[in-house]
């Protein structure tokens, strides 16, 4: 079989993880039989990491770490949301709700390395 490229004795080892944690607090206060207010806050933390190591065998068959082919990635994301609501119930059949919500997102890509390209980035995003 004729292969148009050189096959190499190699292997790739990846140590990767993903974490997500959420905290939420909600509060409702009925003012009287027809009026109530509610509020809440939510926080989400996410982190993804990957450390991929690429190894090539030399002429003796010993595997050597190849930094140019290896990859690293570290990403953090924080999301904070808050809301305030008002509810009106009229004659047990008509209901009206009004809500206001604010969401903020912070993303940080700490390190990316792929094929000898090393970047350190800090990204802040507020919608």
58-85 pLDDT, tens digit each: 888 899 998 888 888 888 889 999 999 9
What does pTM read for this prediction? 0.65
Alpha carbon of residue 127 to chain centroid = 16
Kindly state the tokens that stand for 40.
């809440």
pLDDT bucket at 9, cuts 50 / 70 / 90: confident
Burial class (CB in 10 A: 0-12, 13-18, 19+), 34: middle
The mean per-residue pLDDT over the stretch 40-56 comes to 92
Instruction: Note the pLDDT of residue 114.
Output: 59
Rounded distance, CA 78 to CA 44, Å? 6
Question: Is-contact 41 25, C-beta < 8 A?
Answer: yes
Lowest mean pLDDT of 5-9, 20-24, 27-31, name the range: 5-9
pLDDT bucket at 47, cuts 50 / 70 / 90: very high
């Amino acid at each position: 079989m004729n292969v148009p490229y050189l096959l190499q004795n190699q292997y790739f080892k990846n140590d990767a993880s993903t974490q997500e944690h959420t905290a939420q607090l909600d509060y409702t206060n009925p003012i009287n039989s027809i009026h109530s207010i509610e509020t809440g806050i939510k926080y989400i933390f996410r982190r993804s990491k990957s450390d991929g190591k690429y190894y090539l065998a030399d002429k003796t068959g010993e595997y050597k770490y190849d930094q140019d082919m290896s990859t690293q990635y570290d990403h953090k994301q924080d999301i904070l949301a808050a809301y305030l609501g008002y509810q009106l119930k009229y004659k047990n059949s008509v209901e009206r709700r009004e809500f206001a919500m604010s969401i903020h997102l912070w993303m940080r890509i700490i390190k990316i390395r792929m094929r000898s390209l090393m970047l350190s980035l800090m990204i802040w995003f507020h919608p």
